[in-house]
Every structure is written in C-alpha cells, then in structure tokens.
C-alpha cells in the first residue's frame, strides 16, 4: 500500500490521544499527523508529526492544516457554550478538508443522531453528518454510544448510598468504553474503506438500570438498588450535588433518550472494525471499583 498521511484532530484530548497512540503502535508506513489547537500539548505523543489544527481558525488557515492529508478523523469538539457552535466548527473543518483534497473523512458522532433525538446536543452531530453526506467525500460516521466512563463516574456514590438513581425507567444503554471507541476509530482511519458509512459504536450489550444495580451489588458486595425517578427530580438531584444546571440538563437528556430506547441498540461494529470484541460494561465497572 502506498504511504498515506492520516490526521487525527483533537489529538491532545482523551479520545484523540488514544487513537494516535494506537495508530503509532500498529506500525506500518502511514505518516501519523497529530492535530491540536496547541501543539505544545502533544509533546507526550511519540512517532507523530504534530500540527496545529483549530476549527475556530479562518478557512484558509484551516485548509492549510489539512494539506497533504489522505484520511482525517475529525473528533467532535467540546464547545457546548453556545447551541450550534460545534456544528459551525465541524462544518468549517469539512469544507477545509474537502478544499485541501482529503479523500476520506471520519467523524465521531453520537448514537442514533437524528432530528427527533431526545438529546439537544445531538443536533450538532445531525448537522455535521448531513454536511458529510452533502460533501460527496468518502466518509465514516462513528456514532459513539455513551462512554462507560460517564457511568463509572457515578458508581462510587451508588455503592456508598445503596441507590443507583436514574430517570431512564426500564430503558437500556449500550455503554461503550472510550478505549473501545479509540480502537474502532484507529482501525477505521487506518483502513482502506473509501465509501460512505454510518456505524453505531457500542458495547457488546445494552444494559438496564436494574442490571447495572445488580452488577454493582455483585462486584462491591454491598446491596445497590436501582431507583428510577422522574426527570425533573433527577435534574434537581444533580444540581443539589453541585452540577451546573446546563450540564444537569445534558445528563438528563441522556436519561430521556435511554427511556425512549434511543441508546439501546448494541452493534458488532467495534469487533468488525478492530477484530477484537467490545468490552462488557461489567468489566469496566469491575476495573473502576477495584481502582
């Protein structure tokens, strides 16, 4: 295979950093370009070409950042301060990549991104996916389900209080570890796929609140019960615990989406892309409770 240049944006982030490390570990002839708003933050990444990539730059500067790149992974940003800002960033990146001659774009979207998603921040992903489709470029949309790490952050409290409080009712979530998302993204970026596809990136199974409580009970040796509450009470609880209200609303929207079944589809995409099965949630929880 001819030598290619593979770019990962957001390479100083948690997901981007792991994608880059995995690409380097694969070896081979591909040139790995690690892109970040601040190249100084890439000092810990060996075997890569660092490059400044900031979606807030003007289009000519951003186009230069994509020059000479064959395939690029656009990692969705964390700019949630203003509705629609992320979509503007991503659309600018797609236009710049196309103008620079990138052949295949990959993008980290969200599970079941759709106009009628219960998750307001999914709209940035919907607009970005639409722009990718309209670009005519080859592309791979990686619709990451909720990170298992999002749940792991809450299990300490659930175990100590004996209550796993959710607002998802009987809804299930196909949690996926960030590491599995990185593995799938690295494999897709390094592949030769040049068509257009949308993949749901999930854990191996969707789990309900009752099932998670049972796992926590078994793993911790302490009884944990699932306590489903109305969404208003859920938001109030998070705010009382110190979370700013806008963030509490984002987390609550995940609960509503789960209750509606929007996060409950488990796919085999992680294994199909990377050759290794996705990590069961139980394994991720066991690691968190041990550590």
Ligand X SMILES: NC(=O)c1ccc[n+]([C@@H]2O[C@H](COP(=O)([O-])OP(=O)(O)OC[C@H]3O[C@@H](n4cnc5c(N)ncnc54)[C@H](OP(=O)(O)O)[C@@H]3O)[C@@H](O)[C@H]2O)c1
Contacts with ligand X by CB under 6 A lie at 9-16, 36-37, 41, 53-56, 75-79, 89, 108, 144, 146-147, 150, 178
In the complex, least distance from residue 145 CB atom to ligand X, rounded to whole angstroms: 6
Minimum CB–partner distance for residue 16 and ligand X (Å): 4
b/e map 153-180, b = 16+ CB within 10 Å: ebbeebbeeebbbbbbbebbbbbbbbbb
Considering the complex, state which of residue 151 and residue 231 has its C-beta at the smaller distance from ligand X: 151
Distance CA(17)–CA(90), nearest Å, equals 19
Pairing outcome for strands 225-228 and 163-166: parallel
Closest distance of CB 149 from ligand X, Å: 8
Q: How far is the CB of 192 from ligand X (least distance, A)?
A: 25
* Residue 37 vs 103, nearer CB to ligand X: 37
Helices (H), 101-177: 122-135, 148-161
d(CA 217, CA 120): 33
Cα dihedral across residues 37, 38, 41, 47: positive or negative: positive
Shortest separation between residue 223's beta carbon and ligand X, angstroms: 28
- For ligand X, which is the closer residue by CB, 37 or 260? 37
132: tokens are 């990718």
CB of 188 to ligand X, least distance (A): 15
Number of Cβ within a 10 Å radius of residue 261: 14
* Pairing of β 207-208 and β 172-173: antiparallel
The Cα 130–Cα 126 span in angstroms is 6
Nearer to ligand X, 85 or 260 (CB): 85
Q: Which is nearer to ligand X, 14 or 211 (CB)?
A: 14
The residue whose two tokens read 């990718």 is: 132
Map residue 7 onto helix, strand or coil.
strand
Residue nearer to ligand X on the CB measure, 174 or 219: 174
CB of 253 to ligand X, least distance (A): 12
d(C-alpha 270, C-alpha 89), whole Å? 27
Give the nearer residue to ligand X in terms of CB position, either 73 or 224: 73
């Amino acid at each position: 295979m001819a030598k290619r240049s593979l770019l990962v944006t957001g390479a100083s982030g948690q997901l981007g950093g792991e994608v880059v490390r995995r690409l380097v570990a694969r070896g081979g002839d591909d040139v790995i370009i690690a892109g970040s708003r601040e190249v100084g933050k890439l000092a810990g990444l060996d075997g890569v070409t660092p490059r400044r990539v900031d979606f807030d730059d003007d289009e000519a500067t951003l186009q230069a950042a994509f020059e000479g790149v064959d395939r690029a992974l656009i990692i969705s940003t964390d700019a949630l301060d203003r509705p629609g800002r992320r979509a503007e960033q991503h659309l600018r990146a797609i236009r710049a990549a196309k103008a620079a001659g990138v052949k295949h774009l990959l993008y980290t979207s969200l599970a079941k991104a759709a106009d009628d998603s219960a998750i307001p921040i999914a709209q940035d992903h919907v607009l970005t996916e639409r722009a990718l489709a309209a670009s005519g470029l080859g592309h791979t949309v990686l619709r990451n389900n909720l990170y298992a790490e999002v749940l792991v952050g809450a299990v300490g409290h659930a175990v100590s209080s004996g209550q796993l409080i959710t607002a998802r009712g009987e809804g299930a979530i196909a949690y996926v570890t960030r590491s599995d998302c990185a593995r799938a993204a690295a494999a897709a970026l390094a592949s030769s796929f040049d068509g257009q596809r949308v993949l749901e990136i999930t854990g191996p199974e969707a789990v309900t609140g009752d099932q998670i409580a049972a796992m926590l009970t078994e793993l911790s040796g302490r009884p944990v019960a699932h306590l489903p509450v109305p969404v208003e009470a859920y938001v109030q609880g998070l705010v009382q615990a110190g979370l700013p209200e806008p963030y509490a609303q984002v987390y609550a929207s995940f609960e509503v989406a789960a209750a509606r079944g929007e996060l409950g589809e488990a796919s085999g995409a992680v294994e199909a892309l990377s050759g290794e099965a996705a990590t069961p949630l139980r394994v991720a929880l066991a690691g968190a409770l041990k550590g």
